[in-house]
A and B are shown apart, each in its own frame.
Chain A
Amino acid sequence: DAGVIQSPRHEVTEMGQEVTLRCKPISGHDYLFWYRQTMMRGLELLIYFNNNVPIDDSGMPEDRFSAKMPNASFSTLKIQPSEPRDSAVYFCASSLLFWWQFFGPGTRLTVL
Protein backbone atom coordinates (compact mmCIF):
# COMPACT_ATOMS: atom_id res chain seq x y z
CA ASP A 1 0.00 0.00 0.00
CA ALA A 2 1.17 3.50 -0.75
CA GLY A 3 2.08 5.61 2.21
CA VAL A 4 1.57 9.33 2.56
CA ILE A 5 2.61 11.03 -0.65
CA GLN A 6 4.03 14.52 -0.71
CA SER A 7 5.02 16.70 -3.61
CA PRO A 8 7.29 18.23 -4.50
CA ARG A 9 10.11 16.59 -2.53
CA HIS A 10 12.28 19.66 -2.95
CA GLU A 11 11.32 23.22 -3.69
CA VAL A 12 13.60 26.18 -4.19
CA THR A 13 11.99 29.55 -4.65
CA GLU A 14 12.70 33.21 -4.28
CA MET A 15 11.41 35.42 -1.54
CA GLY A 16 8.00 36.78 -2.31
CA GLN A 17 6.89 33.88 -4.47
CA GLU A 18 3.90 31.70 -3.70
CA VAL A 19 4.65 28.13 -2.68
CA THR A 20 2.16 25.27 -2.66
CA LEU A 21 2.93 21.97 -0.99
CA ARG A 22 0.76 18.95 -1.67
CA CYS A 23 -0.18 15.87 0.28
CA LYS A 24 -2.11 12.72 -0.43
CA PRO A 25 -2.95 10.87 2.80
CA ILE A 26 -3.28 7.13 3.20
CA SER A 27 -6.66 6.01 1.93
CA GLY A 28 -9.18 5.65 4.74
CA HIS A 29 -7.34 7.83 7.22
CA ASP A 30 -9.55 10.45 8.87
CA TYR A 31 -6.85 12.73 10.16
CA LEU A 32 -4.33 14.78 8.25
CA PHE A 33 -1.54 16.80 9.83
CA TRP A 34 0.94 19.36 8.56
CA TYR A 35 4.22 19.72 10.47
CA ARG A 36 7.28 21.88 10.00
CA GLN A 37 10.78 20.83 11.02
CA THR A 38 13.66 23.26 11.52
CA MET A 39 16.92 23.01 13.38
CA MET A 40 15.97 25.85 15.68
CA ARG A 41 12.42 24.89 16.58
CA GLY A 42 12.37 21.16 15.95
CA LEU A 43 9.16 19.54 14.79
CA GLU A 44 6.04 21.67 15.15
CA LEU A 45 2.42 20.98 14.33
CA LEU A 46 1.02 23.63 12.02
CA ILE A 47 -2.55 22.43 11.50
CA TYR A 48 -4.60 19.28 11.42
CA PHE A 49 -7.83 18.17 9.82
CA ASN A 50 -10.40 15.60 10.79
CA ASN A 51 -12.73 14.44 8.04
CA ASN A 52 -11.51 17.34 5.88
CA VAL A 53 -12.39 19.93 8.54
CA PRO A 54 -9.62 22.01 10.12
CA ILE A 55 -9.59 21.28 13.85
CA ASP A 56 -6.58 23.16 15.20
CA ASP A 57 -4.64 25.75 13.23
CA SER A 58 -3.02 27.41 16.23
CA GLY A 59 0.40 26.37 14.98
CA MET A 60 0.11 28.24 11.69
CA PRO A 61 2.76 30.93 12.05
CA GLU A 62 0.95 33.80 10.37
CA ASP A 63 -1.53 34.80 7.72
CA ARG A 64 0.92 34.03 4.98
CA PHE A 65 0.24 30.36 5.65
CA SER A 66 -2.98 28.65 4.64
CA ALA A 67 -4.04 25.03 4.37
CA LYS A 68 -6.96 23.37 2.66
CA MET A 69 -8.37 19.90 2.40
CA PRO A 70 -10.96 19.91 -0.37
CA ASN A 71 -11.50 16.16 -0.18
CA ALA A 72 -10.37 13.11 1.75
CA SER A 73 -7.49 12.35 -0.59
CA PHE A 74 -5.81 15.71 -1.00
CA SER A 75 -4.50 18.62 1.02
CA THR A 76 -2.41 21.69 0.28
CA LEU A 77 -0.28 24.00 2.37
CA LYS A 78 0.28 27.37 0.76
CA ILE A 79 2.72 30.09 1.70
CA GLN A 80 2.18 33.48 0.12
CA PRO A 81 4.40 35.42 0.00
CA SER A 82 7.28 33.18 1.02
CA GLU A 83 10.18 34.43 3.13
CA PRO A 84 13.65 32.99 3.81
CA ARG A 85 12.65 32.10 7.38
CA ASP A 86 10.06 29.72 5.95
CA SER A 87 12.87 27.44 4.79
CA ALA A 88 12.27 24.09 6.47
CA VAL A 89 11.15 20.54 5.87
CA TYR A 90 7.37 20.29 5.79
CA PHE A 91 5.83 16.97 6.68
CA CYS A 92 2.35 15.73 6.06
CA ALA A 93 1.05 12.88 8.20
CA SER A 94 -2.20 10.97 8.28
CA SER A 95 -3.83 8.62 10.73
CA LEU A 96 -6.88 6.54 11.40
CA LEU A 97 -6.30 6.57 15.12
CA PHE A 98 -5.27 10.10 16.03
CA TRP A 99 -2.09 9.05 17.78
CA TRP A 100 -0.72 6.57 15.25
CA GLN A 101 0.47 9.01 12.66
CA PHE A 102 2.11 7.94 9.44
CA PHE A 103 4.44 10.54 8.04
CA GLY A 104 5.22 11.35 4.44
CA PRO A 105 8.78 11.81 3.17
CA GLY A 106 8.60 15.58 3.58
CA THR A 107 9.11 18.55 1.29
CA ARG A 108 12.38 20.43 1.72
CA LEU A 109 11.63 24.09 1.06
CA THR A 110 14.37 26.62 0.46
CA VAL A 111 13.41 30.27 0.09
CA LEU A 112 16.23 32.42 -1.24
Chain B
Amino acid sequence: GQNIDQPTEMTATEGAIVQINCTYQTSGFNGLFWYQQHAGEAPTFLSYNVLDGLEEKGRFSSFLSRSKGYSYLLLKELQMKDSASYLCAVKDSNYQLIWGAGTKLIIKP
Protein backbone atom coordinates (compact mmCIF):
# COMPACT_ATOMS: atom_id res chain seq x y z
CA GLY B 1 0.00 0.00 0.00
CA GLN B 2 0.91 3.63 -0.16
CA ASN B 3 2.05 5.36 2.97
CA ILE B 4 3.21 8.77 4.10
CA ASP B 5 4.71 9.07 7.58
CA GLN B 6 5.32 12.25 9.50
CA PRO B 7 5.43 12.97 13.22
CA THR B 8 2.09 13.76 14.79
CA GLU B 9 3.23 16.74 16.81
CA MET B 10 6.35 18.82 17.42
CA THR B 11 7.12 21.68 19.76
CA ALA B 12 9.69 24.40 19.17
CA THR B 13 10.66 27.78 20.57
CA GLU B 14 10.09 31.14 18.92
CA GLY B 15 13.20 32.20 17.02
CA ALA B 16 14.57 28.67 16.78
CA ILE B 17 14.82 26.20 13.88
CA VAL B 18 12.69 23.10 13.43
CA GLN B 19 12.86 20.23 10.95
CA ILE B 20 9.74 18.25 10.09
CA ASN B 21 10.46 14.92 8.47
CA CYS B 22 8.36 12.99 5.98
CA THR B 23 9.01 9.49 4.69
CA TYR B 24 6.98 7.96 1.92
CA GLN B 25 6.32 4.64 0.23
CA THR B 26 4.30 5.13 -2.91
CA SER B 27 3.74 3.48 -6.24
CA GLY B 28 5.89 5.78 -8.28
CA PHE B 29 6.90 9.35 -7.61
CA ASN B 30 6.07 12.53 -9.45
CA GLY B 31 6.82 15.16 -6.87
CA LEU B 32 6.44 15.99 -3.20
CA PHE B 33 4.53 18.92 -1.75
CA TRP B 34 4.45 20.62 1.60
CA TYR B 35 1.34 22.51 2.65
CA GLN B 36 0.64 24.59 5.75
CA GLN B 37 -2.74 24.36 7.40
CA HIS B 38 -3.79 26.62 10.25
CA ALA B 39 -6.47 25.27 12.55
CA GLY B 40 -9.89 25.42 10.94
CA GLU B 41 -8.54 26.69 7.64
CA ALA B 42 -7.72 25.16 4.29
CA PRO B 43 -4.15 24.18 3.38
CA THR B 44 -1.89 26.62 1.58
CA PHE B 45 1.02 25.65 -0.66
CA LEU B 46 4.54 25.96 0.73
CA SER B 47 6.92 24.02 -1.50
CA TYR B 48 7.38 21.48 -4.24
CA ASN B 49 10.32 19.10 -4.78
CA VAL B 50 10.70 16.75 -7.71
CA LEU B 51 14.49 16.49 -7.87
CA ASP B 52 16.89 15.60 -5.07
CA GLY B 53 18.25 18.45 -3.06
CA LEU B 54 17.28 21.52 -1.12
CA GLU B 55 14.80 24.16 -2.21
CA GLU B 56 15.00 27.37 -0.23
CA LYS B 57 12.24 29.90 -0.02
CA GLY B 58 12.76 32.56 2.60
CA ARG B 59 12.53 31.12 6.10
CA PHE B 60 11.29 27.81 4.74
CA SER B 61 13.37 25.15 2.97
CA SER B 62 12.41 21.72 1.73
CA PHE B 63 14.72 18.81 1.05
CA LEU B 64 14.16 15.66 -0.97
CA SER B 65 16.00 12.35 -1.31
CA ARG B 66 14.16 10.12 -3.74
CA SER B 67 16.44 7.14 -3.14
CA LYS B 68 15.58 7.24 0.56
CA GLY B 69 11.93 8.15 0.13
CA TYR B 70 12.53 11.05 2.46
CA SER B 71 11.85 14.74 2.68
CA TYR B 72 12.03 17.39 5.34
CA LEU B 73 10.68 20.87 5.80
CA LEU B 74 13.00 23.24 7.61
CA LEU B 75 11.59 26.32 9.28
CA LYS B 76 14.01 28.97 10.48
CA GLU B 77 13.54 31.97 12.78
CA LEU B 78 10.29 30.55 14.00
CA GLN B 79 7.43 32.94 14.62
CA MET B 80 4.28 32.38 16.62
CA LYS B 81 2.25 32.51 13.41
CA ASP B 82 4.10 29.39 12.23
CA SER B 83 2.01 27.37 14.67
CA ALA B 84 0.04 25.17 12.29
CA SER B 85 -0.13 21.69 10.83
CA TYR B 86 2.30 20.87 8.05
CA LEU B 87 1.12 18.36 5.48
CA CYS B 88 3.40 16.29 3.30
CA ALA B 89 1.88 14.98 0.07
CA VAL B 90 3.36 12.84 -2.71
CA LYS B 91 2.15 12.59 -6.28
CA ASP B 92 2.28 8.93 -7.30
CA SER B 93 2.72 7.30 -10.70
CA ASN B 94 -0.92 8.02 -11.53
CA TYR B 95 -0.43 11.65 -10.57
CA GLN B 96 -2.71 11.15 -7.59
CA LEU B 97 -1.84 13.02 -4.42
CA ILE B 98 -1.24 10.86 -1.36
CA TRP B 99 -1.48 12.89 1.82
CA GLY B 100 0.26 12.47 5.14
CA ALA B 101 -1.75 13.04 8.31
CA GLY B 102 0.13 16.23 9.03
CA THR B 103 2.48 17.39 11.77
CA LYS B 104 1.07 19.81 14.30
CA LEU B 105 3.77 22.34 15.14
CA ILE B 106 3.43 24.19 18.43
CA ILE B 107 5.57 27.29 18.88
CA LYS B 108 6.29 28.46 22.42
CA PRO B 109 7.51 31.92 23.37
Do A and B interact?
Answer: no
